[in-house]
Structure 1
Amino acid sequence: MLQLLWEIFLSSAKVGVFGYGGGPSVIPLIKKETVELHHWMSADEFTDSLAFGNALPGPIATKMSAYIGYKLAGLVGAVAGVLGMVAPSFIMMLALAALFFAIKDDPRAQGALRAVRPVIVALLAFTAYDLFPKSGLNWDYLALGLVSFALMVFTDVHPALIIAAAAMLGALVYSF
C-alpha cells in the first residue's frame, strides 16, 4: 500500500511540476500518467472522471488527483494525490514569487512568458481533439456543445451556469 501511495504522490507531483498553465492544459499530462504509463484506468474511465471533475467547482488537476487517488487507494490515496499535485506548485510559487518580483520588468522574462502562451493554447486544443472522438457524441450532444461554445463566446453567461444547465438537461432528457 505504501508503494502505491508513493506512486500516486509522485505521479501527481510530476503533473504538478510540469503542468504549466494549469486548468485544462494539464489534462493531457494527467492522462499520460494515469492511462498510458500506469494503466490505472482506461481511456473511457478517464473521460468519465474528467466529466465528473468538471461538474464540480475548483481546479481540475486537484479534483482529478483526488478522484484517481481515491479510486486506487481510498481516502488516503486521494490525500496522496492532492498533496502530490499541490506541493510542487506551492513550493515553486514561494521560490519564484521572490524571483519574479525581482526580474518582472526584464525583457527576457517577458519574452519567455509570451513564448509559453501559444503552447498552452496548443495543449488546450489537443485536449479537445483527444477527447472529441471518445465522447460518444451524437447530433444532440454536438448541438449542445456548439450552443455552449456560442454562449461562452458571445454572452456573459458564466460557464458554471452552462455546465449546470447541461447537467440538468442531460438528467431530464437522456436518463430515459
Structure 2
Amino acid sequence: MKYLNIFIAFFRSGILGYGGGPSSIPLVYDEVVKRYKWMDDEDFSDVLALGNTLPGPIATKMAGYIGYRVGGIVGMLVALIATILPTAVLLILFLTVLQAYKDIAWVNGISKAVVPVVGVMMGVLTWDFIKKSKGYFGWLMTTVLVIVSLIVLQVLSIHPGILIAGLLAAALLKKSKQADENLNKKVKTS
C-alpha cells in the first residue's frame, strides 16, 4: 500500500504539473504535506531549497528524495517512475498532436491559457512560504529577505542556487558561531 501511495502521489503531481517541474511543486506539496503527511512544511521547504541548488529537474530530485525517505530504495524508484514515465509518454503524444494541429486557433489558445494558471499556482505557494517565514522571522525580516532575494534574482540575475547556497552557508556559519559561544560560556562557568 505504501508503494502504491507513493506512485499515486507522484503520478498525480507529475501528470497534472503542466509546464514542468516548477509548476508541479505546488502539486507535490499538496500530496506530500497535506494529503499523505509524509513531511511537514519545514521539511518540504528544506527539500525544495536544497533541490533548487542541485543540477537537474526539480520534480525528479524531489520525487527521488521523498520516495526514498518514505519507502527506501524501492520507494525512490517508484516515485521516479511515477514522475518520469507518464510525462514522457504524454509529451510524445501531445507534441505529435500539437504539431499536427498547431495552426488551429483553439489548440494555440489552450497552450497560452495554461500559463497564467501555473503563475497563480506558483504565487499561492510563494505566499504560503512567505506567511510561514513571517512566523519564524517576523514581517520585517521576511520583507527584507523577499526584497533582497528579488534584487539578487531579478536585478543582478544571479542564479537561485547561488542565493540559496549563500543563505545556507550564512545559516551554518551563524549556527557554528553560536555553538562556539555556547561552548565558551560552558568553559567559563566550569
| TM bucket normalised to smaller | 0.7 to 0.9
The residue aligned with 2:112 is 114
- Structure 2: where are the runs of 5+ without partners? 179-190
- Taking a change above 3 Å as real, the CA distance of residues 46 and 158 of structure 1, as seen in their structure-2 partners, is closer
CA–CA distance in 2 between the matches of 1:87 and 1:6? 15
Tell which structure's C-alpha radius of gyration is larger: 2
| C-alpha distance in structure 1 between counterparts of 2:114 and 2:49, whole Å | 27
- Residues 31, 80 of structure 1: CA spacing in aligned structure 2 closer, same or farther, 3 A cutoff? same
Q: After TM superposition, list the pairs within 5 Å mapping 1:16-165 onto structure 2.
A: 16-135=14-133, 136-138=136-138, 139-140=140-141, 142-165=143-166
Q: Give % identity.
A: 34
Q: Residue 168 of structure 1 aligns with which residue?
A: 169
Residues 52 and 161 in structure 2, CA contact (< 8 A), matched pair in contact too? no
User: More relative contact order in 1 or in 2 (CA 8 Å, sep 6+)?
Assistant: 1
For residues 159 and 54 of structure 2, the distance between their equivalents in structure 1, rounded to whole angstroms, comes to 14
Kindly tell me the number of residue pairs found equivalent between the two proteins: 174
Distance in 1, matches of 2:159 and 2:30, equals: 30
**How far did residue 45 of structure 1 move?**
2.4
The Cα shift of 1:35 comes to 1.8
Cα offsets for 1:125-167 (capped at 9, x unmatched): 0010111222333555543432121122223323333233222
Q: 1:58 to 1:21 in 2, by over 3 A?
A: same
Matching residue's letter, 2:47: S
CA separation in 2, counterparts of 1:55 and 1:142? 22
Computed over aligned residues only, the root mean square deviation of the Cα atoms, in angstroms, reads: 2.0
Q: Tell me if the contact between 2:15 and 2:86 (Cα under 8 Å) persists in the aligned partners.
A: yes
Say which SS state the counterpart of residue 39 (structure 1) adopts: coil
Gaps in structure 1 of 5+ consecutive residues: none
What is the CA-CA distance between 1:70 and the residue it aligns to?
0.9
Match of 1:68, SS state, is helix
Letter in 2 for 1:81: A
CA distance in 2, matches of 1:84, 1:120: 21
* Preserved CA contact (<8 Å) 1:25 1:127: no
What displacement does 1:53 show?
2.1
Distance 1:130 1:67 in 2: 22
